Amino acid sequence: MSDSGADSVFGQVQLGYLVVESNRMLDWHRFGADAIGLHVDELSRDALRFRLDEHQCRFLIRRGPAEDLTAIGWQIADHSSFDQVLKRVVDRGVPIEEGTDEEAALRGVERLWRFPGPKGVVQELFTTACTAPEPLRMITSGYVTGRAGMGHVAITSTDPAGIHRYFGTVFDSRLSDFIDENIAGLTLRIRFLRVNERHHSIAVAGTRGVRLDPIRTSVQHVNIQVADLEDMLAAYHRVQELGFRMAWSVGQHTNDRELSFYCVTPSGFELEVGWNPVVVTPELEAAWTVSTYKGISIWGHDDVGLRAFDRLGQLRQAVLHARTPEVTVQELSTSTPGGLIP
Residue 315 has pLDDT above 50, yes or no: no
Would you say 259 and 275 are in contact if contact means Cβ atoms under 8 Å apart?
yes
Strand partners, 279: 198
Would you say 318 and 79 are in contact if contact means Cβ atoms under 8 Å apart?
no
Identical fold between 13-126 and 146-332: yes
CA separation for the pair 118, 293 (Å, rounded): 25
Would you say 66 and 219 are in contact if contact means Cβ atoms under 8 Å apart?
no
Which pLDDT value is given to residue 211?
76
Structural fold of domain 146-332: 2,3-Dihydroxybiphenyl 1,2-Dioxygenase; domain 1 (3.10.180)
CA separation for the pair 46, 158 (Å, rounded): 33
Q: Which sign does the torsion angle of CA 17, 95, 342, 213 carry?
A: positive
Residue 340 has pLDDT above 90, yes or no: no
Which pLDDT value is given to residue 183?
72
CA separation for the pair 314, 187 (Å, rounded): 14
Which pLDDT value is given to residue 341?
45
Which residue, among 290, 278, 298, 301, has the nearest Cα to 337 in the 3D structure?
A: 290
Residue 305 has pLDDT above 70, yes or no: no
Q: How high is the mean pLDDT of the chain?
A: 92
Q: Map out the domains of the chain as residue ranges.
A: 13-126, 146-332
Would you say 271 and 263 are in contact if contact means Cβ atoms under 8 Å apart?
yes
Could you report the per-residue pLDDT of 159-189, keeping only the tens digit for each? 999 999 999 999 999 999 999 998 767 789 9
Q: Which sign does the torsion angle of CA 221, 235, 255, 144 carry?
A: positive
CATH of region 13-126, choose from 3.20.20.150, 3.10.180.10, 3.30.70.260, 3.40.50.2300 = 3.10.180.10
* Of 27-36, 214-223, 231-240, minimum mean pLDDT range: 214-223
Which pLDDT value is given to residue 2?
44
pTM of the model: 0.94
pLDDT classification of 322: cutoffs 50, 70, 90: low
Residue 149 has pLDDT above 90, yes or no: yes
